[in-house]
Amino acid sequence: MVSPRGKGYYTKMGKWAIITGATDGIGKAYAQALAKRGMNILLISRTQKKLDACAEEIKSEFKVETKVLAADFSKCSEPGFAAPIEAMIKGMDVGVLVNNVGLSYPYPKCIADDECDWDLLDSLIKLNVYSTTVMTKIVIPGMKERKRGLVVSLSSAAGNMPCGSPMLAGYSATKAYISAFSKSIAYEVGSGITLQTHVPYFVVTNMSKIRKSSLMIPTPKAWVESSLKIMGYGSTTIVPYFAHFVQDYLAQCIPEGLAGWYTLRLHKDIRRRAIKKAEREAAAKTQ
């Protein structure tokens, strides 16, 4: 049994942690947890007002230095997007990068349906694939030069299931990309630098639309604590929260066809309930 990572593990990596998608949910929980462990925090997200509020909250509570950068990752494939980020981190001793920014479907949709449109697929690729690629490319050279650092990228159960994720095909594929991308770079950079993909199942977040925690559905804070305690141990792809690990283990054990049948059935039901809810809300507005 491994010992959990303590405060010193992260500060030895460097003085600064960068977190994308940092003002809500899992991203904010990472920022708070790393600040608690003594790291200065650079928050990168889209909305300046939320960034400023989050930075002030962290600075006040944990007495660390904070910086913010407003960046719209839906534009991260455009020329010049990386320049402001590169300028901000120039000379910065970055020890940790958390690639957290991402997008999912508003509700499950089949790829053949008109409602699964090009705009959605384009946004998924930019926010899930390009963002992680761009941020890792920006930060890794400095880590390699210093011969230390940690990059953790967030995948999803949808990207780790043996059957993929029927009705979330685009999301599933982008999250599977993150695992392969991180794994490949981990072998390129060698010892001293850790790259891992951490896989959540359901967590209480705005993206999941789940509001109540349970044994199987942790809060962002609980999930992030499990992530940081196991960081750097095991393989390049980790399911850190124990209840999720059990779910994932069972998913890997059952036949792919059975996993695909169950997941499709689950997502059809989620889609049905989401459409009914939207219809009720629309009807209420007309009254």
Q: What is the pLDDT of residues 55-89, one digit of tens each?
A: 999 999 999 999 999 999 999 989 999 999 999 99
Q: What is the pLDDT of residues 184-242, one digit of tens each?
A: 999 999 889 999 999 999 999 877 777 788 888 999 999 999 999 998 888 999 999 99
The residues carrying an active-site annotation are 171
The CATH-assigned architecture of domain 7-286 is 3-Layer(aba) Sandwich (3.40)
Of the candidate ranges 91-100, 158-167, 208-217, the one whose mean pLDDT is the lowest: 208-217
Band of the pLDDT at 4, cuts 50, 70, 90?
low
How many Å apart are CA 62 and CA 64, to the nearest integer? 6
What are the start-end ranges of the E strands in the chain? 16-20, 40-45, 66-70, 94-99, 149-154, 193-198, 237-238
CB 25 within 8 A of CB 38: no
Q: What is the pLDDT of residues 235-266, one digit of tens each?
A: 999 999 999 999 999 999 999 999 999 999 99
